[in-house]
Amino acid sequence: MASVSLPPFSRALVTGGAGFIGGHLVRALLDAGVEVVVLDNFRTGRASNLEDLPVRLVRGCITDRAAVRDAVAGCGAVFHLAALVSVPESMERIHECVSLNVTGLLVVLEEAAAAGARKLVLSSSAAIYGDDPEVPKREDMRPAPKSPYAITKLDGEYYCALFAATGRIETACLRYFNVFGPRQDPRSAYAAAVPIFIRRALEGRPITIFGDGGQTRDFVFVKDVVAANIFAASTAGLTGVFNVGYGGSVTIREIAERILTQTGGASVIEHADTRPGDVRHSRASADKLRAAGWAPAYTLESGLAETLAWYRAHADPV
Ligand SMILES: NC(=O)c1ccc[n+]([C@@H]2O[C@H](COP(=O)([O-])OP(=O)(O)OC[C@H]3O[C@@H](n4cnc5c(N)ncnc54)[C@H](O)[C@@H]3O)[C@@H](O)[C@H]2O)c1
């Protein structure tokens, strides 16, 4: 795996640092000796994700220019994770989605550039590929966003490209596929499949699958997503759009069955209506980021094992 130690910046801003991925990223940066500033308004984040970590926490919104300016001062790198993160919620709250995912990003880009930050890494999404039946998804495929969430992530990528092309700040956009790992919240109305399945399996309650369960996903362990972020921020000249996934896929039914097997759970699997905006098949081509020198340290199996161990040890994880 490419080294993520000794990043070429001593202070970094993590927007959305109190979230699931953000909390893991903050830990990894601290472990690498980086001073961390977190900007978060706790829209979906939780204080427990940051525990008592030695970070400077700025409680504020990414659309609040003064808060962003305060948070980004002296930062060499910016990891922009804060967003309206849910596809179903974005279908209901389009304007809020645009405000947070586009206007908020623009404020962060402008303030990061003005503060002299060298690099901004945007958390983008595989949702951009939409329902194009072609797999694996390559970065040069024509985007087909199907939700306000995906449209705003694509907009964000274009703004990042614009800021890089005009020399204001170097940017890299990482299109995460389906991220899973410890501390992912199974309780929100829009929670992801893996933590819900694990929690239900551990409690012996029914597991609900939206649709027939034949939809496929490329699940990627959160620590690999974090390492990809630090790699992108640390690699001068690495700019543009990169998939972050393993290049494999499993059906939702398979992942539910694997979790049931590994937990020894007796839950039954139930089916509910397909959710609006959900895509059918999703699998990354992971070649571009690998060619740039990055490789994952985990697999679906090892990541799932670490995740299950964590949930077992934290019966009430949120
Ligand atoms: N989890 C995944 O599978 C996945 C997949 C693709 C992309 N992403 C992207 O990765 C990023 C992190 O996702 P996550 O899964 O950790 O979600 P999360 O909800 O746990 O984290 C998002 C964080 O952003 C904060 N936030 C939201 N709006 C804000 C605002 N206006 N101002 C300041 N802070 C705000 C939240 O409070 C939260 O702490 C997001 O940009 C998301 O779109 C996640």
Ligand 1: which residue has its CA nearest to atom 35? Answer: 82
Ligand 1 atom showing the smallest separation from residue 185 Cα: 20
| Ligand 1 pocket residue status of 90, Cβ below 6 Å | no
Q: Which pLDDT value is given to residue 192?
A: 87
pLDDT one-digit tens code per residue, 18-62: 999 999 999 999 999 999 999 999 999 999 999 999 999 999 999
Asked if residue 60 lies in contact with residue 34, where contact means CB atoms within 8 angstroms, the answer is no
Ligand 1 contacts CB of residue 13 (under 6 A): no
d(CA 70, CA 108): 11
Question: Does ligand 1 have an atom closer than 6 angstroms to the CB of 44?
Answer: yes
Tell me, in angstroms, the distance from the centre of ligand 1 to residue 19's CA: 6
What is the Å distance from ligand 1's center to 12 Cα? 17
Per-residue pLDDT of 254-293, as tens digits, reads 999 999 999 998 899 999 999 776 778 899 999 999 999 9
Give the CA distances from residue 308 to residues 183, 205, 312, in Å, rounded to whole numbers and listed in that order.
11, 16, 6
What integer pLDDT is reported at residue 2 of this predicted model?
44
- What pTM does this model have? 0.96
List, in order, residues 6 or more apart from 84 with CB less than 8 Å away. 43, 90, 93, 96, 97, 100, 101, 149, 152
- Sites in the chain below the pLDDT cut of 70: 1-5, 277, 316-318
Q: Is 100 in the pocket of ligand 1 (CB under 6 A)?
A: yes
Q: How many CB atoms sit inside 10 A of residue 47's CB?
A: 11
pLDDT, position 212: 95
At 231 the pLDDT is: 98
Q: Give strand pairing partners of 179.
A: 220
Q: Are 147 and 92 in contact (CB under 8 A)?
A: no
Q: Is the Cβ atom of 42 under 6 angstroms away from ligand 1?
A: yes
What's the gap in Å between 84 CA and the centre of ligand 1? 6
C-alpha to C-alpha distance for 179 and 225, rounded to whole angstroms: 8
Asked whether residue 202 is domain-assigned, the answer is no
Give the model's pLDDT for residue 315. Answer: 74
Q: Choose among 182, 192, 217: nearest CA to 85.
A: 192
DSSP state of 281: B
Ligand 1 pocket mutation, candidates 85, 96, 101, criterion most atoms within 8 A of CB: 85
Q: Count CB neighbours of 2 within 10 A.
A: 16
* Count of other CB atoms within 10 angstroms of residue 243: 27
190 is catalytic: no
Provide φ and ψ at 276, rounded to 5°. -60, 140
Amino acid 1: pLDDT = 43
pLDDT at 283: 96
Any domain includes 267: no
Domain assignment of residue 109, given as a range: 11-177+221-245+284-297
Count of domains for the chain: 1
Q: Is the CB of 284 under 6 A from ligand 1?
A: no
The verdict on residue 157 lying in a domain is: yes
pLDDT of residue 278: 72
Residue 124 dihedral angles phi and psi, to the nearest 5°? -105, -165
CATH number at residue 225: 3.40.50.720
DSSP E strand boundaries for the chain: 11-15, 35-40, 56-59, 77-80, 119-125, 170-176, 178-180, 207-210, 216-217, 219-221, 240-244, 250-251, 269-272
What residue owns the CA closest to ligand 1's atom 1? Answer: 179
**Ligand 1 pocket, mutate which of 81, 103, 246 (most atoms under 8 A from CB):** 81
Note whether residue 233 is domain-resident. Answer: yes
Nearest-atom number in ligand 1 for the CA of 61 is 32
Residue 121 domain-assigned?
A: yes
pLDDT of residue 22: 98
How far apart, in whole angstroms, are the C-alpha atoms of residue 38 and residue 79? 10
Residue 32: C-alpha distances to residues 227, 239, 297 (Å): 11, 22, 17
* Structural domain contains residue 147: yes
In a domain, 137, yes or no: yes
Residue 316 has a pLDDT of 65
**Residue 17 belongs to some domain of the structure:** yes
For residues 84 and 149, the answer to whether their CB atoms sit within 8 Å is yes
Q: Is residue 42 within 8 Å of 18, Cβ to Cβ? A: yes
Q: Looking at residue 277, what is its pLDDT? A: 62
- The atom of ligand 1 lying closest to the CA of 45 is 39
Q: Tell me, what's the pLDDT at 265?
A: 81
